[in-house]
Chain A
Amino acid sequence: MVPRTDRAPERRRIYLDCNATTPLRAEVLAAMEPYFSDLYANPSSAHSLGSRARTAVEEARETVAQILGVKRSEIVFTSGGTESNHLALLGAAAALDPGVILSTPIEHSSVLRALDYLADQGWDVRNVELLPDGRVDLEQMERQLEPNVQLVSVGWANNEIGTLQPVAEIFALCETRGILFHTDAVQVPGKLPFHRVPAHLMSLSGHKFGGPKGVGCLVVREGVLIRPLFRGGSQERGLRAGTENVPGIVGFAEALRIAARSAERFVARVCPLRDRLWEHLRQIPGVQRHGAVGENVLANTLMVTVDGVAADALIAALDLEGICVSAGSACAAGAAEPSHVLLALGIPVERAQGSVRFSLSEDVTESEIDFVAECFAKAVRRIRAAEETARQGFTA
């Protein structure tokens, strides 16, 4: 078919879906490029070309370790957040006798499904009590940390509602009791400045902070025993067999370096924009905000629900204006689904079906935020009017 030329040129895209993924930074791509082309060797090869690749992987490991304030030997590169969470939970469980695992019902699906699997394997998986904003109730949790608890997994920053957990306090509670603590920190780098790893096991994913997809890492603090998911070569000290994703690992380290350096600036920039967006949206009747506020939420995240409006209609309407947002959850086909996080926080399913998550990047401007709010209000009005017409047509 002849390409159409009579369509309006695509307008500027406003990307407010940074908790789903972020664009690869140009500097990161530049750092990765040699390892796709000239420096293609296997890091395990003994020749000099292999040595170049090995050096790149180990320098990346050193960069990551320095930023996180841990030792090089505590970094295990993986294929991303899901693998890191599985390696942490299944790997730690394999080295322990089955007992109690404490977690929350608002974790990422890769944590929830890994815990389902462990429950099938005989583990007693329990939920800790959550406050209405999604924060762990520390007092309740302390009571739940009985001697038979072996492992605790609580995500640092929730990807849907942005709520931040008191991970330092949870870590302290676990440490004094000799309980392993894992945190899924995939949403943290670049969006929240931090100076230490508040867990025995911590998962990260490169593409959430300007790095490439398909690479992540698990921090395994010294003395923590886990078993590998994959067996084979001795890569990653035997904890993750398989030829290293050299360009990915190089990109991961470079992206983490930039993210750590710019996190404070990011917060200072996007927090007022996120608040400005909410100031606009709260004027619309039937719009509710979910999750924590102030210091207890990611600076870039705003999760709202709209009474009587289906998320997929809203997302499509915004998309037609060039605005990219998410409902929070989607099925394999791509249809919006009620967010399991909202459902776990007791939000009724009808309301949870109308959820829209804004997760801002630092590139968005004030005028774009105003435009987004305007489009959102218009879309809500149109959807409600269409539903109203349909209802009247039905009874007539």
Chain B
Amino acid sequence: MTRVLVAMSGGVDSSVAAALLVEAGYDVIGVAMRLWNGPSDSGCCSLDDFVDARRVAARLGIPFFVMDFSDLFERHVVRPFAEDYLRGRTPNPCARCNQFVKFDALFSRAQALGADFLATGHYARLVRGPEGEWHLHTARSRDKDQSYFLFGLPRQRLAQILFPVGDRTKQEVRALAREKKLPVAEKPESQEVCFVPRRDYAEFVEKYTGQAGAPGPIVDENGAVLGVHDGIHRFTIGQRRGLRVGGGRPRYVVDLDPNTGTVRVGDRTATLAQGLRAIQVNWLVSRLPEPGEQLTVKIRSRFNPTPVVVESADATTFVVRAPGRLQAVTPGQAAVLYDGDRVVGGGWIDAPI
């Protein structure tokens, strides 16, 4: 019997994923990951979530274990998250968690328990190519697609990963949960960063690092000081709200300088970049894109894929140009390249160009 380890968060997606695997006849093991021991209110790693996951597993009649990954999670996700903000970057902790914890440490656990596959409740698809190779594709349901967060999956492991809900809509998943009488069928969505209470990133960074933000100037394109702020970790590129610099026209954050603590603002056109450079790239195709190749890019999770032309690509970096410009290219976020529905690869935004 083929054995699958499924990551169960206590949410509806991973619960339905587990149920679908059981229905398909796999030998399913449920594992809930204990990632964070600090306070959290956004529906992750709370005691109730583990209880919910356990109840779903009991309902499905599968073995269930809670495993602790909190050291790894702090090292690879939480600490870099706080440090990025202090360095004027805007991190993407979910992508890092997938890359370094779920599809690495948990993958090892799956192998250790004799599982042939690791499954999660992500909305993405794995599609087999003509030569038998596996490709990561967007979910069928575009508005739920999570392929952006999954760019860091090791390519050689795609054949051993399953996304059972990737070709279903959220409505279908909820309907399945109700039909199977899963105790989490009506559980609300959790979309926020799981370890940050009340979506207050700035407060989290200050508490976690024990550093109150360093005040600094807010300057315009010409260097004229428009005001002061209480720490660059409170800002992200393209941000418009909360600047409190007055003046009639809308202004946007265009640059954050961690060395001087300066927040530079400008009008909307100043946030447009011709392209970007990405580092620590993970390719999900066997052949690197050629210069001149036309792809699309997503530079944050809520972003319409935008056409780009590849300028250069090597094993760990790429540079792409967007004929139509990219709005608010934000260092620290992921840049993920797509060829239609297929994820070509992705990396971390180093800088706009």
Contact = CB atoms under 8 A, between A and B. Distances in A.
Contacts of B323: none
A312 B154 contact: no
B63 interface: yes
A310 B66 CA distance: 12
Contact of A312 (B50, B66, B107, B181): B66
Contact of B107 (A4, A382, A383, A390): A390
A95 B110 CA distance: 55
Interface stretch (B111-119, B133-141, B250-258, B300-308): B111-119
A333 B108 contact: no
A386 B109 contact: yes
Contact of B68 (A1, A4, A336): A336
B185 interface: no
B222 interface: no
Given A320-B63, A335-B34, A389 B108 contact: yes
Most buried by B among A319, A333, A334, A394: A333
B291 interface: no
B104 A316 contact: no
B198 interface: no
B114 A382 contact: yes
Contact of B65 (A312, A379, A393): A312
A133 interface: no
Contacts of B59: 1
Contact of A1 (B107, B112, B180): B180
Given A312-B66, A394-B104, A331 B34 contact: yes
Nearest to B23: A1
B22 A4 contact: yes
A332 B47 contact: yes
Size bracket, chain B contacts: 20 to 34
Nearest to A334: B66
Contacts of A333: 32, 34, 45, 47, 50, 66
B156 interface: yes
Interface string B150-166: 00001011000000000
A340 to B, nearest CB: 15
A6 interface: yes
A215 interface: no
B175 to A, nearest CB: 14
Given A332-B47, A390-B107, A319 B65 contact: yes
A335 B66 contact: yes
A7 B25 CA distance: 9
Most buried by A among B22, B104, B112: B112
Given A331-B34, A334-B50, A393 B154 contact: yes
A387 interface: yes
Nearest to B65: A316
A4 B59 CA distance: 11
Interface string A372-396: 0000000100110111011001100
Contact of B112 (A7, A382, A393): A382
A188 to B, nearest CB: 31
B14 to A, nearest CB: 16
A199 interface: no
A316 B156 contact: no
Contacts of B22: 4
B29 interface: yes
Nearest to A6: B25
Contact of B61 (A4, A313, A335, A382): A4
B67 interface: yes
Nearest to A330: B66
Nearest to B32: A333
Contact of A390 (B32, B65, B108): B108
B47 A335 contact: no
Contacts of B114: 317, 320, 382
A385 B29 CA distance: 20
A379 B25 contact: no
A352 to B, nearest CB: 13
B68 A337 contact: yes
A202 interface: no
Contacts of B154: 393
A312 B67 contact: yes
B112 A317 contact: yes
Contacts of B65: 312, 315-316, 319, 334
Interface string B174-198: 0000001100000000000000000
B297 to A, nearest CB: 27
Nearest to A7: B61
A358 to B, nearest CB: 18
Most buried by B among A312, A315, A316, A332: A316
A67 to B, nearest CB: 39
Contacts of B107: 390
A97 to B, nearest CB: 38
B156 A312 contact: no
Interface in A304-355: 310, 312-313, 315-317, 319-320, 331-337
A353 to B, nearest CB: 8
B29 A316 contact: yes
Nearest to A309: B112
A45 B200 CA distance: 58
Contacts of B68: 310, 312, 331, 335-337
Most buried by A among B32, B65, B104, B107: B65
Contact of B67 (A316, A382, A389): A316
Most buried by B among A3, A390, A394: A390
A363 B41 CA distance: 45
A44 B28 CA distance: 53
A393 B109 contact: no
Interface string B58-74: 01110101111000000
B6 to A, nearest CB: 13
B40 to A, nearest CB: 13
A100 to B, nearest CB: 33
A34 B72 CA distance: 53
Interface of A: 1, 3-4, 6-7, 310, 312-313, 315-317, 319-320, 331-337, 379, 382-383, 385-387, 389-390, 393-394
5 contacts: A316-B63, A334-B66, A382-B114, A386-B108, A386-B112
Given A1-B60, A319-B65, A332-B47, 16 more contacts: A1-B59, A6-B25, A7-B61, A310-B68, A316-B63, A316-B109, A320-B113, A331-B66, A333-B50, A334-B65, A382-B112, A382-B114, A386-B108, A386-B112, A389-B108, A390-B107
What are the nearest 8 A-B pairs in CB distance?
A: A386-B111, A383-B112, A333-B50, A386-B112, A335-B68, A334-B66, A335-B66, A390-B108
